[in-house]
């Protein structure tokens, strides 16, 4: 089964010092993994701007993302929904739009979305994403 992660879950998985690392690692074991929508770019951004002791080079961060999350998806042009209209209809605005795009990519792919982000949960649910809060 393919599982898609948002940035919060992805960072917990790849950063061994993260307090949720073991929980996420156990949950995803044996599954094909990907990042949903722009979570791939958010994850890259965080990994390349962390404090120096933890920061990855752009090349290393990209390699880590490609190898750990090979089933990453973006919202396709062939999507059956108009993303902007869907966000408007769900009442999603402001910073929640970015969470909405993650949810729409997971929906478009027909995959479960894993997250540690309680703040994003209402947005994910408002759009009908199959989301699991870890």
**Pairing, β 32-35 against β 112-115:** unpaired
Handedness of CA 65, 70, 73, 78 (dihedral sign): positive
Q: Which tokens in the block code for residue 33? A: 């993994």
Considering only the top CATH level, what class is 2-133? alpha beta
CB 124 within 8 A of CB 115: yes
Q: Where are the domains of the chain?
A: 2-133
- Using alpha carbons only, give the angle 76, 27, 53 rounded to the nearest 5 degrees: 85
| pLDDT of 51 | 93
In the predicted model, is pLDDT for residue 78 greater than 80? no
Q: What is the pLDDT of residues 54-77, one digit of tens each?
A: 899 999 999 999 999 999 998 877
Handedness of CA 83, 85, 90, 95 (dihedral sign): positive
| Residue 128: C-alpha distances to residues 64, 85, 102 (Å) | 30, 15, 12
């Amino acid at each position: 089964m393919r599982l898609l992660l948002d940035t919060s879950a992805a960072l917990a998985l790849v950063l061994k010092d993260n307090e949720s690392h073991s929980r996420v690692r156990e949950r995803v074991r044996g599954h094909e993994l990907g990042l949903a929508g722009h979570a791939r770019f958010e994850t890259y951004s965080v990994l390349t701007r962390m404090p120096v002791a933890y920061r990855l080079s752009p090349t290393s961060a990209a390699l880590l993302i490609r190898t750990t999350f090979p089933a990453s998806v973006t919202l396709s042009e062939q999507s059956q929904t108009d993303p902007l209209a869907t966000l408007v209809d769900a009442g999603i605005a402001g910073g929640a739009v970015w969470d909405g795009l993650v949810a729409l990519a997971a929906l478009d792919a027909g995959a479960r979305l894993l997250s540690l982000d309680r703040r994003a949960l209402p947005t994910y649910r408002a759009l009908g994403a199959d989301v699991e809060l870890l």
